[in-house]
Structure formats: C-alpha cells, structure tokens
Amino acid sequence: MRQQRHESSLFSAVLPAPLEQSAGLRAYEKALEAEDRASAAEDHAAEALWRTPARSAAGATAKLHALGTKWQPSSTSEEEPWPQIRSVIADLLKIDTGSVASRLSMPERQSELQGD
C-alpha cells in the first residue's frame, strides 16, 4: 500500500492531470484538423495552377517552381530530377530577365513602356 501511494505521487508529479491531458489531446486534434484543411487548400490551389495555361516564360517558370516547392524533398535535394529542374528554372529566369532588359532598351518601345 505504501509503495502504491509512493508510485502515485511520483506519477502525478510527472504526468499531467486527466483534465490537462484531455485539453492537450483536444488541442492536438484541432491542430491536426487545421493541418488537414491547409493541405487540402494547397492541393486545390496546385490543381488550379496546373490547369491554367502559362502565358509567358515567367508563368511557366512559376509553375515549375510551384512543382518543386510542393514535391521536392528539400530545396537542396541532389536526388534526380530536382537539380535538373532547378537548373531549368534558373535558365528560364535568366532568359526572361534578358528578354525584359532587351525590350526596355529598344528606343521605339520606351515611350510605350513609360506610358507616354
């Protein structure tokens, strides 16, 4: 009997009270539900993105970036095809940046781009 009281006092010192356990479990379940809702919203947005045709190199680049963000194990993953996809994204960004720069340097387009 004395041993049981001793064990009970030790367990009560270490383990939370039943009400605290219950509140903690409810908070955990709510967090899981919120995570599920966020994941479903992310999946819905991704599906809409994949269905929407890109209208520019920047749009196609954004779709590739979203693909990498969603499914790539990490931003520095060396597992194929992720390094290759990151390389294509970098190339597309350089091409698009160069294209914008060349359009800005064309004298006949400067007034159009400036709104004159």
Q: What pLDDT does 86 receive?
A: 92
Q: What pLDDT does 107 receive?
A: 60
Q: What pLDDT does 38 receive?
A: 95
Q: What pLDDT does 24 receive?
A: 80
Residues contacting residue 50 through CB under 8 Å, at least 6 positions apart: 63
Ranges of the chain with pLDDT below 50 = 116
Encode pLDDT of 41-68 as tens digits.
Answer: 999 998 999 899 999 888 999 899 898 8
Q: Which domain holds residue 46?
A: 13-52
Q: Provide the number of structural domains found in the chain.
A: 2
Alpha-carbon distances, residue 84 vs 59, 60, 76, 77 (angstroms): 19, 16, 12, 11
Phi/psi of residue 80, each to 5°?
Answer: -65, 145
Q: What pLDDT does 85 receive?
A: 92
| CA angle (92, 72, 28) in 5-degree steps | 135
Residue 6 lies in a domain: no
One domain for residues 65 and 40: no
One domain for residues 17 and 67: no
One domain for residues 96 and 109: yes
